[in-house]
Structure 1
């Protein structure tokens, strides 16, 4: 095998989301992000360091792939150094630059946290998936399986909120490995963010929305091509 792709899922997601993802010649490690929040709070920066320490203890080449919330977490790991030979960032936000917008986002995410922790789980999922940004044709595992993990899911809305994240746009040049930025053609907001953040490597998935890895059949091949030319 050429190495391992460490895959980070999105908010209200599961490691199982990546079960169908495969790139020839590469192993895939589906990271359960909720275990990092099972016992106690963990800020974004602390997560980056913790993931890097875990990855550094494993031999072989390592590629980091993060989707949405997982993409933001991946950025923190990349900016903390770490053993990564390349990275793929999908549908991720580098950070809100306006303090007022960050404060408003924290307030909204506090509401999501309360709903995830105390509300009826099926109603919470219905509200979450009804958000326009998540519209699209993506086949994902049943999120009812996540109900036993509602505590860390709720905590993620606080610890890993976009409102709790310092804007990283000015720091992206510090990342030492090749990065492929990906967004969906129909995901206007995140397409614009990807085009602004990307260096020489970006891909806009034709016809896809926010959930590119599960909406675009081309995605694994694009990742494979990027790794072929980027990881020696």
Structure 2
């Protein structure tokens, strides 16, 4: 399904038939992913609706729009408007990696409708302006490399990053599905996501953590020490965060240990009072 918001066409899908008597979870994928990435994890009916969205520059959502529309504050304003158009007044937001950054920004900037926030391997951004500037230059160089080379070369590079090394232990057929999904992306969309929606461009939300009032679940993989440490730093600032480490998983937990992750999410949701 497609909804046009301020000139951007957002593609979204309900992963089970929508039931207005159940609460809703919005699922946001990571960089080079799409809404399809969540289909295997939510292959069985849950006690809540699951709305998976293709973020700008990815999947079936618009790619060739003004680059400033890729900025995180602009993106989350669109996503909040999408929920208004769909007449969903309250919802959980679940995001992975880039999607987790978007989910946190959404919770900070449009908190009224957010019943709870789930961050899988996510970050509030980079606190120091000088470090953000360095990262922005790195993201821009990577985007130029992507536009000047081939998508195959970029995907080869991206998959070789140490952050994703644990995915080499997955069955070959599963690895190929992930790769094929990445190769269906449009280079311009990925490049704009890096430059305008990347960690170097995104505002830091570290200072906003203490003011978040909705419940937060943060999950990191046992093999992903970097994001374990980020989650622990977040919990120091916002002690109400539920922090969990998923065994035998790296950065992409929903790919490597989907059943275990889903069990943890569902158990956490059971403890939250939310209306449909």
Select which of 224, 227, 232 maps to 2:269: 227
| Separation in structure 2 between the aligned mates of residue 119 and residue 39 of structure 1, nearest angstrom | 22
Q: Which residue of 1 aligns with 2:77?
A: 49
Q: Per the alignment, in what secondary structure is the counterpart of residue 230 of structure 1? A: coil
Select which of 247, 251, 255 maps to 1:206: 247
Superposition deviation, residue 99 in structure 1? 2.4
Matched, 1:95 2:125: yes
CA-to-aligned-CA distance 1:174-225 (integer Å, 9 cap, x gap) = 2232110111121111100011113331111112111111112300111111
State whether residues 122 and 144 of structure 1, in contact with CA within 8 Å, keep that contact through their aligned partners in structure 2: no
Superposition deviation, residue 148 in structure 1? 4.8
Q: Which residue of 1 aligns with 2:102?
A: 73
Q: Which residue of 1 aligns with 2:209?
A: 172
Root mean square deviation of aligned Cα: 1.9
State whether residues 81 and 175 of structure 1, in contact with CA within 8 Å, keep that contact through their aligned partners in structure 2: no
State whether residues 140 and 195 of structure 2, in contact with CA within 8 Å, keep that contact through their aligned partners in structure 1: yes
TM score, norm. by length of structure 2: 0.78
State whether residues 166 and 223 of structure 2, in contact with CA within 8 Å, keep that contact through their aligned partners in structure 1: no
CA-to-aligned-CA distance 1:65-108 (integer Å, 9 cap, x gap) = 01001111111111112422111011111121222321221111
Structure 2 segments unaligned to the other structure (5+ residues): 1-18
* Pairing of 1:79-158 with structure 2 (within 5 A): 79-82=108-111, 83-137=113-167, 139=174, 141-145=177-181, 146-158=183-195
State whether residues 25 and 49 of structure 2, in contact with CA within 8 Å, keep that contact through their aligned partners in structure 1: yes
State whether residues 13 and 143 of structure 1, in contact with CA within 8 Å, keep that contact through their aligned partners in structure 2: no
Select which of 66, 71, 84 maps to 1:40: 66
| Separation in structure 2 between the aligned mates of residue 168 and residue 153 of structure 1, nearest angstrom | 23
Which moved further from structure 2: 30-39 or 161-170?
Answer: 30-39
| Separation in structure 2 between the aligned mates of residue 148 and residue 45 of structure 1, nearest angstrom | 23
Matched, 1:189 2:189: no
CA-to-aligned-CA distance 1:146-175 (integer Å, 9 cap, x gap) = 445221111000111111122211211222
TM score, norm. by length of structure 1: 0.92
| Separation in structure 1 between the aligned mates of residue 184 and residue 41 of structure 2, nearest angstrom | 24
State whether residues 88 and 180 of structure 1, in contact with CA within 8 Å, keep that contact through their aligned partners in structure 2: yes
State whether residues 24 and 50 of structure 2, in contact with CA within 8 Å, keep that contact through their aligned partners in structure 1: yes
